[in-house]
Structure 1
Amino acid sequence: MNEVHLVEDGKAASKRSPLLWAILGVALVGVAAVLYVIVAASFKPHGPADLREFKKGTLEKLDVPANPRPAPDTVFTSLDGKPATLADFKGRVVVMNLWATWCAPCKAEMPTLAKLQAAYATQPVTVLPISVDRDSDLNLVQAEMAANSPLKTYRDPSYKLSFALEPKAGGFPTTVIYDRQGRERARMTGPADWSAPEVRGLVEKLLAEK
């Protein structure tokens, strides 16, 4: 009797084996597929974030190029005459603002630029006002900056940077936003409230990029 049972058990086991192997094979394929998706996602290159979602409110007229634009290598100067270029700020989100003391909209938006810089004082964000005022108006430039701490302005009285932009600046104020790789990602011609939520959202988006 025992031999009969052993033979029957053996036959049953032999019938079940292909089914078990089939189930195990399907499970292994499923696990392999999941691992492939995870690994592929981790190595998938991430392109620049789409900033068009921030074209609203004060940034309704924001220009977001289809592809990031390279920053010009034009030299501008600090108030004490030291040369600088946009490459000096690489690794930081830069909000470059071309302005002048004779430009009423420029002066109206300057306090909001100061608020933006203060909000990111401990993060890699630089609000970079660049004045196109003449040397004879340097005292007016200094007074404007004194009223809008913690901003520190630079100078480009010959308008070289304005014309070096591609496309060139369309007037004043013109604000160009660069990512941490030093690429132009957005531009605003005309004034804006730079302390608005949509501006913060845009800056946060760029800070989050690798």
Structure 2
Amino acid sequence: MRWDRFFDDLEDQLASEWEAERAALDTEAERLRLSRVTLRERFTVLASTEAAAVPISIELSDRSVLRCRVTGVGADWVALQADEGGRDAVLIPFASILSVGMPHVEVLRSARPAPRPTNLSDRMTFGFMLRDLVRRRVGVAIGLVHGRALTGTIDRAGADHLDLALHDRGAPRRNDVVTGHRLVPLTALAWVRFDDPAVR
């Protein structure tokens, strides 16, 4: 009888040690997974349907803070819908993000494994999105990293800069309303805001 109890105790102790070792391995595997998570992956989770309704705040390099919802993610940018209820959409290059504020539950949720990205979203760079705005002739407001904002229409988007025809926001780009032109390096952009036709 005593030997049976001894072996049962030994078996319970081994099982307990095995569970502790497995838990430690699981914890280490999770730490390793988290060490590889990128900001892009976290935004991808935030853009998913269950989290997309939660507003977040993003502090940018121009010291502005946007309260918004994540609507899309590309290779090096995030698309946001302003939370003020307007029709403005905002493109933000990851390089201009200083911090992201959100409820703790969303912090935890965003650290979960992200959905598999499509090859198309991997290739859609910030420059690609700017070239789409050129093609659509959309009026924009752009925020520069030092805090100044410019309005107009992007005439061309090069590899590392854009050409902006300056005019009042909301006015169509016509030669008689253009007040000047600027070449703006992409590294100087904190955000690009434009009227989102999908929001009416």
TM-based fold match above 0.5? no
Structure with greater Cα Rg: 1
Normalised by the length of structure 2, the TM-score is 0.30
Structure in which a larger fraction of residues adopt helix: 1
Normalised by the length of structure 1, the TM-score is 0.29
Structure in which a larger fraction of residues adopt strand: 2
